[in-house]
C-alpha cells in the first residue's frame, strides 16, 4: 500500500486522538493552575491576614466577577486575602474538586455557590468540622453545615417574574422560558417559583423550556428554535444574564415584533434593550452586594459574633416605560 493511502487511513484515526490529548492537556493545566493558587492558602488565627477562597460557578462569568469585586473590596478593608478560583465553564464536578482542594489547603474560610449535591454537602460539613467556616453565595446549600447564606431569594425572584408576566399579559397567553442550565440550582428554584405563579392562571401556559448552557449564542439558537416550533408564543422569559440578549437576537432574526421579553440582571446590552423598548423589563440582582455582605458576615463571625443564617440581598426591576428602579421584595 502506498504512503499516500496509509496517510489517508491514519488521518481520521489521528485527529480524534489529537483532540482528546489537547483537551486532557488543557484540563491538566487548569487543575494545576487551581492547585498553585491554593498552595499559598494557609490557616491563621483569624482577623488580619485571614485567607478566604471564593469558588465561583464560572471563572469569567459577568455575574461572578461582580461578586468577586464586592468581596475583594470588602476583604481589603479587613486585611483579608481573597483567592478567586473556579472552572472555566460551568462544571459542578469541578466545583466539588475545588472545594476539596481548598479544604485540603486549610483555607481560613470558603465562599461557595450551593449546587444541591450530596458530596458537596459532605465536603461543606467536613470543612465545618475542621473549623473552616463556609458561606454560600448566590445559591444556598441549606441541608449542610454552612455558616450562612447570602444572595437572592431565587424562588421568590421566580415568583416575582411570574407576577410581572401575568400582569403584562392580562393573564392570558403562551410563554416560552430559557434557563441557563437545568443542573444549576438557582435556575431550578427560579423556574419553580415562576411555575407556581403561572399555574394559578388558567389562561397562561408555559409551552416549552430550553437551556442556554450560560451561552449567549445558545440562548439565541434555543429561543429561535422554540419560536419556530411554537409561533403562538408571545412572552419569553430568560432566567440568567445572557438569556435576555440571546432571546432578543432570536426575535430580531425571525422578525417578530409582537414578542414580549423578560430578562434577568443588568448587563449593559440588556439595559440598552430595555431603554429601547426591545425588552419589556429585567429583574436585577445585587452580586457586588452579595460578595461584600459575605465578607462582612465572615468578619463578624471571626470576631465572635453569630451571623444571621440567611441574608437575602435586594432585587429590583427596570421597566421599558421607566428609567426608575422599582424595588422588588424578591418574594421574601
Contact between 283 and 315 under an 8 Å Cβ cutoff? The reply is yes
Polymer length of the chain: 332
Q: How confident is the model at residue 257, as a pLDDT?
A: 75
Domain annotation covers residue 24: no
How far is residue 265's CA from residue 58's CA, in Å, rounded to a whole number? 16
Q: Is the same domain home to 299 and 249?
A: no
Q: Is the same domain home to 181 and 92?
A: no
Q: Is the same domain home to 252 and 219?
A: yes
Note down the domain range covering 251: 154-285
Q: For residue 58, give the CATH number of its domain.
A: 3.40.50.2300
Q: Is the same domain home to 173 and 220?
A: yes
Q: How confident is the model at residue 95, as a pLDDT?
A: 97
Q: How confident is the model at residue 99, as a pLDDT?
A: 98
Q: Is the same domain home to 82 and 174?
A: no
Domain annotation covers residue 298: yes
Q: Is the same domain home to 217 and 258?
A: yes
Q: How confident is the model at residue 51, as a pLDDT?
A: 97
Single residue among 246, 266, 285 that ends a domain in this structure: 285
Count structural domains, the chain. 2
Domain annotation covers residue 175: yes
Q: Is the same domain home to 166 and 270?
A: yes
Q: Which of 25, 32, 79 is nearest to 51 (CA)?
A: 79
* Alpha-helical segments (H) within the chain: 3-39, 62-77, 92-104, 118-129, 154-169, 185-198, 216-229, 243-254, 268-275, 287-302
Q: How confident is the model at residue 49, as a pLDDT?
A: 83
Domain annotation covers residue 8: no
Q: What is the pLDDT along the chain (332 residues), one digit of tens a residue?
A: 555 554 555 555 555 555 555 555 555 555 555 555 444 444 444 445 899 999 999 999 889 999 999 999 999 999 999 999 999 988 999 999 999 999 999 999 999 999 999 999 999 999 999 999 999 999 999 999 999 999 999 999 999 999 999 999 999 999 999 999 887 899 999 999 999 999 999 999 999 999 998 889 999 999 999 999 999 999 999 999 999 999 999 999 998 778 999 999 999 999 999 999 999 999 999 999 999 999 999 999 999 999 999 999 999 999 977 654 444 433 33
Give, to the nearest 10 degrees, the angle between helix 92-104 and helix 3-39: 50
Q: Is the same domain home to 58 and 98?
A: yes
Q: Is the same domain home to 115 and 191?
A: no
Which three cell numbers, joined as nine digits, stand for 228?
A: 419556530
Q: How confident is the model at residue 214, as a pLDDT?
A: 83
Domain annotation covers residue 34: no
How far is residue 229's CA from residue 109's CA, in Å, rounded to a whole number? 48
pTM, whole model, 2 decimals? 0.80
Q: Is the same domain home to 191 and 232?
A: yes
Q: How confident is the model at residue 25, as a pLDDT?
A: 55
Which three cell numbers, joined as nine digits, stand for 306?
A: 453569630
Domain annotation covers residue 332: no
Q: Is the same domain home to 167 and 255?
A: yes
Domain annotation covers residue 28: no
Q: How confident is the model at residue 14, as a pLDDT?
A: 55
How many H-runs (helices) and E-runs (strands) does the chain carry?
10, 13
Q: How confident is the model at residue 183, as a pLDDT?
A: 78
Q: Is the same domain home to 205 and 309?
A: no
Question: How many CB atoms within 10 Å of residue 288?
Answer: 18
Domain annotation covers residue 14: no
Amino acid at each position: 500500500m502506498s504512503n499516500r493511502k496509509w496517510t489517508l487511513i491514519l488521518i481520521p484515526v489521528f485527529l480524534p486522538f489529537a483532540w482528546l490529548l489537547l483537551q486532557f492537556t488543557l484540563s491538566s493545566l487548569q487543575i494545576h493552575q487551581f492547585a498553585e493558587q491554593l498552595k499559598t492558602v494557609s490557616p491563621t488565627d483569624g482577623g488580619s491576614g485571614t485567607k478566604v477562597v471564593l469558588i465561583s460557578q464560572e471563572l469569567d462569568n459577568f455575574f461572578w466577577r461582580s461578586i468577586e469585586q464586592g468581596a475583594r473590596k470588602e476583604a481589603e478593608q479587613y486585611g483579608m486575602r481573597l483567592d478567586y478560583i473556579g472552572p472555566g465553564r460551568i462544571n459542578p464536578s469541578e466545583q466539588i474538586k475545588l472545594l476539596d482542594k481548598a479544604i485540603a489547603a486549610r483555607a481560613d474560610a470558603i465562599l461557595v455557590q450551593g449546587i444541591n449535591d450530596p458530596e458537596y454537602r459532605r465536603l461543606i460539613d467536613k470543612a465545618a468540622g475542621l473549623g473552616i467556616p463556609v458561606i454560600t453565595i448566590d445559591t444556598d446549600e441549606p441541608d449542610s453545615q454552612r455558616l450562612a447564606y447570602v444572595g437572592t431569594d431565587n424562588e421568590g425572584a421566580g415568583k416575582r417574574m411570574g407576577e410581572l408576566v401575568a400582569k403584562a399579559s392580562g393573564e392570558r397567553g403562551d410563554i416560552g422560558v430559557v434557563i441557563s442550565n437545568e443542573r444549576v440550582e438557582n435556575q431550578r428554584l427560579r423556574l419553580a417559583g415562576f411555575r407556581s405563579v403561572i399555574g394559578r392562571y388558567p389562561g397562561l401556559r408555559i409551552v416549552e423550556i430550553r437551556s442556554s448552557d450560560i451561552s449567549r449564542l445558545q440562548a439565541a439558537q434555543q429561543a429561535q428554535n422554540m419560536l419556530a416550533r411554537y409561533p403562538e408564543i408571545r412572552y419569553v422569559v430568560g432566567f440568567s444574564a445572557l438569556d435576555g440578549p440571546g432571546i432578543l437576537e432570536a426575535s430580531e432574526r425571525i422578525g417578530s415584533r409582537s414578542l414580549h421579553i423578560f430578562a434577568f440582571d443588568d448587563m449593559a446590552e440588556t439595559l440598552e434593550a430595555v431603554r429601547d423598548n426591545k425588552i419589556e423589563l429585567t429583574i436585577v440582582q445585587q452580586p457586588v452586594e452579595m460578595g461584600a455582605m459575605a465578607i462582612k458576615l465572615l468578619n463578624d463571625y471571626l470576631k465572635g459574633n453569630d451571623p444571621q443564617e440567611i441574608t437575602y440581598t435586594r432585587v429590583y426591576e427596570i421597566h421599558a416605560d421607566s428609567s426608575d428602579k422599582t424595588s422588588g421584595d424578591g418574594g421574601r
